[in-house]
Amino acid sequence: MYTNKFGRHMLGLCSRKPAAVCGVVRRAAGRSGFSWTAVCQQRTLWLQRSGFLEKEKRAVIRQTGSRSASQTTVDPSELKRFQSLASKWWDEQGEFAALHAMNDLRVPFIRDNLLNVHRARHPGKPLAGLRILDVGCGGGLLTEPLGRLGAKVLGIDPVENSIGTAQLHSSYDPDLREQVSYQVCTLEDLSGEEEGGKEEQGAAQFDAVVASEVVEHLADLETFAFCCSSVLKPGGSLFITTINKTNLSYALGIIVAEQILRIVPSGTHDWEKFISPEELERLLESNGFSVQSVQGMLYNSLSGAWSWTNSTAINYALHAVKLEDSAEDSSSHPEDHTAASHS
């Protein structure tokens, strides 16, 4: 796609030595600041233009009520696959057992990283006062725990049945009713709206965006990263969990998990869409993020439990922070010297 080529061209201009990433990587904020400002501005303009075109197209599609709108980041075949699984979301021993178990890792990961920035003021509700967007929320498996921790969470997913399941499940719990809400849309829809209605809805900005087990199903990651940036407050956090693109992840993640052990329904993942942490990091940093940590995750199918691990060869979690606009300029000067010495 044109977007991808453009992005890669830009990346090629300012090449960086990909650091060997294995295990936890801590990056100083603002490292990728200096040369990207111009690039970002250019791209913003370009994408805005294409975004508006998309918006018109979407507006027409929405009126006709079709669910296959906004194809920019979502693969249509992926949509079909999830529709059939929608009602099985909340069976903890069912098809999505591994996702349920993953909450033991991803909820603390999100909670602790957010608490580092926003000190908890309410005991019992550590994330109170924060607004979180859960992209690709599915049946709400991750949305609900975050809501219980006090955050106001918006879960979005292009599959209407999943959103229906999520809404129904959360409607029974009076504590969740005020905390979580759901919408059938994609991230572009949301960020498109935000741009349009920014003046009235100044509050339509999120403290954190969570995209767990989502990026390996997307067609266009550049736009995804850009949209994440546009819906996040400056300094806001982006949490991604996804699968690495390695031989090991093909062997274990696809052959073993899907075909032999059937931990994951067959055909869920396409190895081509997996992305390595290095590439994801590059992508994010080119979109104004600073990656704070990357941590490998391992699933033990015997015990049905996840654990943190040093190797990011299969699954990993990533935390990035959207750079503040003011920080970009102030931190750019020291970076000038370091970048100059690299190139």
Partner 1 sequence: MMHKLTKAPLALNGLGRCFITEKHVSAVKIIRRELVVAQHESDSGKNEVYDVIISGGGMVGSAMACSLGMDPNLTGKKILLLEAGNKKVMDKVPNAYSTRVSSISPGSATLLSGIGAWEHITQMRCKPYKKMQVWDACSDALITFDKENLQDEMAYIVENDIVVAALTKQLDSLSDNVQVKYRSKVVKYTWPMPHQAADSIPWVQVTLANGETLQTKLLIGADGPNSMVRQKLGIPTVKWNYDQSAVVAVLHLSEPTENNVAWQRFLPTGPIAMLPLSDTESSLVWSTSHRLAEELLELDEESFVDAINSAFWNNENQSELIETAGSMFRGALSAIMPSAGSPRQLPPSVAGIGPKTRVMFPLGMGHASEYIRHRVALIGDAAHRVHPLAGQGANLGFGDVACLTQLLSQAAFNGKDLGAIQHLLEYETERQRHNLPMMAAIDLMKRLYSTNAAPVVLLRTFGLQATNMLPALKEQIMAFASK
Out of 23, 164, 234, 334, which residue is the one contacting partner 1 (CB under 8 A)? 164
Q: Pick the binder of partner 1 from 28, 45, 60, 168 (CB under 8 A).
A: 168
Which is closer to partner 1, CB of 179 or CB of 223? 179
Cβ-based nearer residue to partner 1, 148 or 319 = 148
Per-residue contact string for residues 72-111; x = within reach of partner 1 by CB under 8 A: ------------------xxx----------xx--xx--x
Task: Give 127 or 283: the residue with its C-beta nearer to partner 1.
Answer: 127
Distance CA 240, CA 208 (A): 11
Q: Does 291 bind partner 1 (CB under 8 A)?
A: no
Least gap, CB of 190 to partner 1 (angstroms): 8
Instruction: Report in angstroms how near the CB of residue 211 gets to partner 1 at its nearest.
Output: 18
Candidates 55, 70, 60; CA nearest to 158 is 70
CB 106 within 8 A of CB 318: no
CB of 29 to partner 1, least distance (A): 27
Q: Which is nearer to partner 1, 49 or 177 (CB)?
A: 177
Q: Pattern of binders to partner 1 over 244-283, x per CB under 8 A?
A: ----------------------------------------
DSSP structure string for 229-276: HHHEEEEEEEEEEEE--SHHIIIIIIIIIIIIS-SS-TT---GGG---
Closer to partner 1 at the Cβ: 147 or 288?
147
Quote the crossing angle between the two packed helices 187-196 and 36-64, to the nearest 10°.
Answer: 100
| Least Cβ distance, residue 197 to partner 1 (angstroms) | 10
**Residues 119-158: x/- map of binding to partner 1 (CB under 8 A)?**
---xxxxx-----------------xxxxxx----x----
Q: Which two tokens stand for residue 38?
A: 């111009």
Task: Confirm whether residue 173 is marked as ligand binding.
Answer: no
SS (H, E, C) 141-160: CCHHHHHHCCCEEEEEECCH
The SS3 of residue 85 is: coil
Helices 36-64 and 221-231: crossing angle, nearest 10°?
90
CA distance 292 to 31: 11
Which distant-in-sequence residues (6+ apart) come within 8 Å of 203 by Cβ? Answer: 131
Residue 105 to residue 219: CA distance in whole angstroms = 26
Sign of CA dihedral 208, 134, 27, 11: negative
Helices then strands (H, E): number in the chain?
A: 12, 8
> Is the CB of 77 or the CB of 201 nearer to partner 1?
201
* Residue 136 counted as an annotated binding residue: yes
User: To the nearest whole angstrom, how small is the minimum distance from the Cβ of residue 44 to partner 1?
Assistant: 23
Residue 300: CB minimum distance to partner 1, A: 15
Of 47, 69, 185, 238, which one interacts with partner 1 (CB under 8 A)?
185
User: In whole angstroms, what is the distance from residue 274 CA to residue 251 CA?
Assistant: 13
Residue 262 bridge partners (DSSP):
none
Sites of contact with partner 1 (CB under 8 A) = 90-92, 103-104, 107-108, 111, 122-126, 144-149, 154, 164, 167-169, 171-175, 177-178, 180-183, 185, 193
Binding site members for S-adenosyl-L-methionine: 106, 136, 157, 212
Binding site members for Mg(2+): 213, 216-217
